[in-house]
Chains A and B, each alone.
Chain A
Amino acid sequence: MKFGIVVNEGPYQHQASDTAYLFCKAAIEKGHEVWRVFFYHDGVNNASKLTEPPQDDRHIVNRWSKLHEEHGVDLVVCVAAALRRGIKEENLAQGFRISGLGQLTEAGIKADRLVVFGD
């Protein structure tokens, strides 16, 4: 099956992006396709390459980048939400791209299932 995922909360503050990531990993392991992850609201902060967690903590941003690199997951950050929060091309982590909200609607249309993670 083809999955679309929506992440509405920032990393570290809320468990939403952890749950979303673990869901994606499990879906891929089961042979499904995670076609796109759309980051909205404070979720856009998942894309900041300036993120530096302590050594002994998980690196949420790099984990997403790796998902893109290894499984071709399309990581889309909403442009309006991103600009509001200071996320721009210049501080975007590897594998993410900035685009419009239409990409979220498109995910709803083209994916077999859309699963939302938020507060």
Chain B
Amino acid sequence: MLHIINKSPLTNCSLDSCLRVAQRGDILLIEDAVYAATTGNAFEGRVREAMGRFRIHVLQPDIEARGFAGRLIEGVLPVDYSGFVELTTTNKTCQSWL
């Protein structure tokens, strides 16, 4: 299943909750959630740790818009909107953690 997160992990628990509840699958970070995928943020350790269980993707246009294109955690997979669509088709269901 594809889990879509759109909030910064430093202000909202949605990514934390997703990592607590979901068992496996793909996670896509969009909008303000892309900050989770940047090096040096306080949540970086949790993201690295989660990579064993999940494939973690980040929406590239959102990361570029926020000035962090050069600061992606190694192993996080950048996708464009077309890649976002692809992720929703390769997974049977998707859940937006609103």
Contacts and interface: CB of A to CB of B under 8 A. Distances in A.
A19 to B, nearest CB: 6
Contacts, number: 46
B96 A1 contact: no
Nearest to B86: A30
The A contact surface, by secondary structure, is mixed
A116 B88 CA distance: 11
Interface in A1-17: 1, 3, 8, 15-16
Interface residues of A, number: 21
A32 B89 CA distance: 10
B81 A115 contact: no
Contacts of A32: 85, 89
Interface of B: 4, 6, 30-32, 59, 61, 80-82, 84-86, 88-89, 93-94, 96, 98
Interface of A: 1, 3, 8, 15-16, 19, 22-23, 25-27, 29-30, 32, 113-119
